[in-house]
Structure formats: C-alpha cells, structure tokens
A and B are shown apart, each in its own frame.
Chain A
Amino acid sequence: DTGVSQNPRHKITKRGQNVTFRCDPISEHNRLYWYRQTLGQGPEFLTYFQNEAQLEKSRLLSDRFSAERPKGSFSTLEIQRTEQGDSAMYLCASSSIISPLHFGNGTRLTVT
C-alpha cells in the first residue's frame, strides 16, 4: 500500500482559469476528505465523502468549488474561475471507520 496519492504535486495557474486535482485514497478506506492549508495555519475542512456520497461540505466551499467521488474510489476537486485567495495547499485524506485520517502529500496551488 503506497498511501494516499495526490496529483499534481504543484499547479500554477492564472487567475480565472479552472483547475482540477485528483486524490487516490488508500484502497481499503471508504472515507475521503479534502482540506485546505495556507501558510502558517492548520488544515481547514472542505468536504467529506463516505463511499460515493458527499456527506459534509464546509461553508468555505463556495459555488466555485466542487468535489466528486463517482465510484467511491478516487476523488477530484475542481476550482472554477480561480482567484489569488485560492492559493494554498490542498490536502486529501482517507480513513476507515477505525483508523485516523491518513493524509496525502498535497497539491500546492499558486494562482498568479
């Protein structure tokens, strides 16, 4: 098991462009989470899936943000019309019902 995998590791985009990130969780984990972390801060919750169902969404997740987990395996996080304030590290995590969250290495987004 290679852990939680996120792609790409880095993304630089111009303001107004759309970006999509991918997360592959640990295979036996049915729970998947997206968090956002800015410099010097703790991770902030964005959304949570159990299998393919999106059960929790943060108020941080504006209408420009959408996440999917179509078959209960990998997940994508899309940001439309990016803004400079979206620059952050986007972290994906997965867990089973009895395990703590296992985090991936994140996707660092820079919006210029």
Chain B
Amino acid sequence: ELKVEQNPLFLSMQEGKNYTIYCNYSTTSDRLYWYRQDPGKSLESLFVLLSNGAVKQEGRLMASLDTKARLSTLHITAAVHDLSATYFCAVDATGTASKLTFGTGTRLQVTL
C-alpha cells in the first residue's frame, strides 16, 4: 500500500524567511502533485511534476521531484502572510492519474 508522508506537519515561520516542506512516498512513481487548501475551502492545484528532476516555480514557491529518492520538496522563499494555508502533496502510483494518494498535509502559518 502506497504511503505518503509529509514533514513537518505544522510549520510556523516569520515573514521573509525561507523553508522547505518534504514529501516522501513509499512506491515507484514519477507523477506528483502539490495542492493548497485554505481553511474551509477546497483544494487548489499548485504544481504538477511529471518526471525525475522536474522543477516548477510560481512566485515564492518552488517544487521539485526526485523519483529515485521518492522525494518531493516544496520550497518557500521569503514567506508572506498570504502563503498561510495547508499544503498537500499527492502521488499517482497508477501512471494514469486515476487515483491519487495524498499526504497528511503541512499546515503553514506565516507570522508578521
């Protein structure tokens, strides 16, 4: 059974600081997704990583995928309060996106 683990589970950081969220998974896959969820809201797609070494960047967020290490990272640069949310990684082990397995999420709180 595929297991997807994120750490940390909770992250409090000051504005302007940098930090990385880690997503480890237990089986071979080269398709990984990052989502953002605000409290009481649905999930918003951030990044789709489809191959080993893939790197995507949008604003202050950058995601990467190392399929050999079964690891993805979400790096936050110079955090701002608006980035406060819960971030989920999700792994597609089917190769067809028919079923995603989500991590437990990382709750990010950016303080002034």
Q: Which residues of A contact B (CB under 8 A)?
A: 31, 40-45, 48, 50, 55-56, 58, 91, 93, 95, 100-106
Of chain A, the residue at the smallest CB distance from B41 is A105
Which residues of B lie under 8 Å from residue A44 when comparing CB positions? 102
* B interface, over-half SS: strand
Pair A41/B105 contact, Cβ less than 8 Å: yes
Which residues of A lie under 8 Å from residue B104 when comparing CB positions? 40-42
Pair A95/B42 contact, Cβ less than 8 Å: no
Which residues of B lie under 8 Å from residue A103 when comparing CB positions? 35, 42-44
State how many residues of chain B have any CB contact under 8 Å with chain A.
Answer: 21
Our count of residue pairs bridging A and B at CB distance below 8 angstroms stands at 51
In whole angstroms, what is the CA distance A50 to B48 when docked?
A: 20
> B33 within 8 Å of A by Cβ?
yes
> B100 within 8 Å of A by Cβ?
yes
Q: Which residues of B contact A (CB under 8 A)?
A: 4, 33, 35, 41-45, 48, 88, 90, 94, 97-105
Which residues of A lie under 8 Å from residue B41 when comparing CB positions? 105
In whole angstroms, what is the CA distance A42 to B36 when docked?
A: 11
Which residues of B lie under 8 Å from residue A56 when comparing CB positions? 94, 98-99
CB distance from A67 to the nearest CB of B (A): 14
* Nearest 4 interchain pairs by C-beta: A42-B102, A100-B45, A103-B43, A103-B42
Which residues of B lie under 8 Å from residue A100 when comparing CB positions? 33, 45, 48
CB distance from A104 to the nearest CB of B (A): 6
